[in-house]
Structure 1
C-alpha cells in the first residue's frame, strides 16, 4: 500500500501531571503547526479528559517516519509524554475523505 494511503493514530499520554507539560506547550504547538502545514497531520487535539494527553491522525508517511516524527515532539524529547501509534490501512473511506488519502482509495 502506498504511504499516502496509510493512516496513523498517535495517542499521546502524559507521563506526569498536566503541570509538567506546561513549560513545553509553546514548542509542542509549533511542532503540531509545522506538521499540519506540511500536510502530515490531518487532525490533532486534546483527549477528554485533557489530563490524559492528546491524539493525532496523520497520513502520507510510512510507519518508521511517523515513529521518528512522534519521537521529535518536544513533549517526548523532554520526557513528559509518550506516544502509542496504531497504523491503519483504510479499507473503506467516506467519499469526502478520499481526496485526503491519495490515489487508489
Structure 2
C-alpha cells in the first residue's frame, strides 16, 4: 500500500516557522527509515505539503502523521489517502516491492 499525506496549514504559513526545524527532522527520520519516499511543499507553499509513504498500514501512517511537530503544535493537519497501486512504472516497482 501507498499513502498520500496532504499537509494543510491551519492558519497562516508563517505560524509554522518556529516548528520547521523539528518538522524537517521528522521528515528526515522517516525518509531514513524508508517509510517516506517523497516529501515536498505544494506550489504555492502556502497550501502545505505532500508526503508519499509506503511499507506500513494506514493506522500506522496516521499515527506517524500525528507525531509531526507541525501537527502537535496545532499549526497543521494531515489528510491521508491510501492507494493500492494497480499499475506501476518499472522505475518505481523495486521501491514499491514489485507492486
Q: Normalization by structure 2: what TM-score?
A: 0.98
Question: Is 2:24 the partner of 1:29?
Answer: yes
Question: Is 2:67 the partner of 1:72?
Answer: yes
In 1, Cα distance between equivalents of 2:97 and 2:52: 15
How many angstroms does 1:95 deviate by?
A: 0.6
Aligned residues: 99
Question: Is 2:86 the partner of 1:91?
Answer: yes
Root-mean-square deviation over aligned CA pairs:
0.6
Runs of 4+ aligned residues of structure 1 deviating over 6 Å after TM superposition are none
Q: Normalization by structure 1: what TM-score?
A: 0.92
In 2, Cα distance between equivalents of 1:23 and 1:69: 20
In 2, Cα distance between equivalents of 1:65 and 1:92: 24
In 2, Cα distance between equivalents of 1:98 and 1:18: 35
